[in-house]
Amino acid sequence: MADPLIRIEKLVKKFGPFTALNGVDLEVYPGEVHALLGDNGAGKSTLIKVLSGVHNPTGGQIYVEGKPVNFRSPRDAAQAGIGTVYQDLALNQLMSVTRNFFMGRELKGMFGNLRMDEMNKIAHDEMNKIGINFSDPTQAVGTMSGGQRQTLAIARAIYFGAKVLILDEPTSALGQKQQMGVLKTMMKVRKRGDIAIIFITHNEIHSKLVADRFTFLSLGEVIGKGTKKELEGDDIRRLMAGGAELGDLAAELATVTG
């Protein structure tokens, strides 16, 4: 097996007296989709914000390609090759596809003029590589479907150097057809073999469809992990429920009705 692109050891994050992450270990490998699962409040959002440089860890260590790193800002994380696509996508609805693709990193000529033809071609080609073929890169992002916008954000992160792609609930606000489009995009990125994907989701079916490896969080701690082959039967459903057995949950509900 290849070495992990990211390795996390005993990661701790505290906000005052509250411990959001308590000794989390995680390994993410190139060419794999790693599903990060857990209920609300499990620590998923905190973990990805630490990985993306938004929060500084209280303890533990992050390694990128075997080297210890200390991210002081999202810029540090991006320079190390970690690209995060949040639910809000950080897209301007009124700007063109190309302007969103290059936002803040536009290509300029000798006199400061934008090299729009070159940028249009790059935006078109990079999105086409992962499954979106559109004819007009000058169209406003607001005219695109939700799935196409997700693909734009993913293509942008990869083009600007992401080795690890963190996708925060990328299918949560989409219709079924658009959800499948995003999952196909993820599989095309996976097929490259050089990029690791961290897939944060509440959707058990989607995780089973695309993930190679799973990590389950509950109350800031890892309560289970394994590959798709290692997790059988109802293991994924049970661990997504915080480790509770279905029978325990049914018994708890039964107490409500007496």
Question: Which pLDDT tens digit goes with each residue over 39-87?
Answer: 888 999 999 999 999 999 999 999 999 999 999 999 999 999 999 998 7
Is 62 among the domain residues? yes
Residue 52, exposed/middle/buried by CB under 10 A (0-12, 13-18, 19+)?
A: buried
For the chain, the average pLDDT equals: 88
pLDDT at residue 178 in the model:
86
Is 130 among the domain residues? no
- Mean pLDDT calculated for residue range 111-128: 90
Is 136 among the domain residues? no
Return the DSSP state at 228. Answer: T
With b meaning 16 or more CB within 10 Å and e meaning fewer, what string describes 220-250? bbbebbeebeebeeeebebbbbbeeeeeeee
Q: Which helix (H) or strand (E) holds 83?
A: strand 82-85
Is 24 among the domain residues? yes
Is 118 among the domain residues? no
pLDDT at 32 over 60: yes
Higher pLDDT among residues 88 and 141, named by residue: 141
Query: What CATH number did the domain enclosing 192 receive?
Result: 3.40.50.300
- Mean pLDDT calculated for residue range 102-127: 90
Tell me how far apart the alpha carbons of residues 134 and 63 are, in angstroms, rounded to a whole number: 38
Is 138 among the domain residues? no
Do 181 and 131 meet the contact criterion of CB atoms below 8 Å apart? yes
Domain count, the chain: 1
pLDDT at residue 183 in the model:
92
Degrees to nearest 5, angle at CA 239 with 178 and 232? 85
Sign of CA pseudo-dihedral 10, 63, 130, 1: negative
Is 29 among the domain residues? yes
pLDDT at residue 242 in the model:
62
Q: pLDDT of 192-233, one tens digit each? A: 899 999 999 888 889 989 999 999 999 999 999 999 888 866
pLDDT at residue 89 in the model:
73
Return the DSSP state at 141. Answer: G
Q: Name, in order, each residue with C-beta under 8 angstroms of 63's C-beta and a sequence gap of 6 or more.
A: 4, 6, 7, 8, 9, 69
Do 166 and 51 meet the contact criterion of CB atoms below 8 Å apart? yes
pTM comes to 0.86
pLDDT at residue 58 in the model:
96
pLDDT at 246 over 50: no
Q: Name, in order, each residue with C-beta under 8 angstroms of 57's C-beta and a sequence gap of 6 or more.
A: 11, 12, 13, 21, 50
Q: Which helix (H) or strand (E) holds 157?
A: helix 146-159
pLDDT at residue 247 in the model:
53
Tell me how far apart the alpha carbons of residues 152 and 252 are, in angstroms, rounded to a whole number: 44
Is 120 among the domain residues? no
Do 197 and 189 meet the contact criterion of CB atoms below 8 Å apart? yes
| Token pair recorded at residue 53 | 């440089």
Domain region containing 205: 6-91+162-257
Q: pLDDT of 174-187, one tens digit each? A: 888 888 888 999 99
pLDDT at 248 over 70: no
Instruction: Report the percentage of the chain scoring pLDDT > 70.
Output: 91
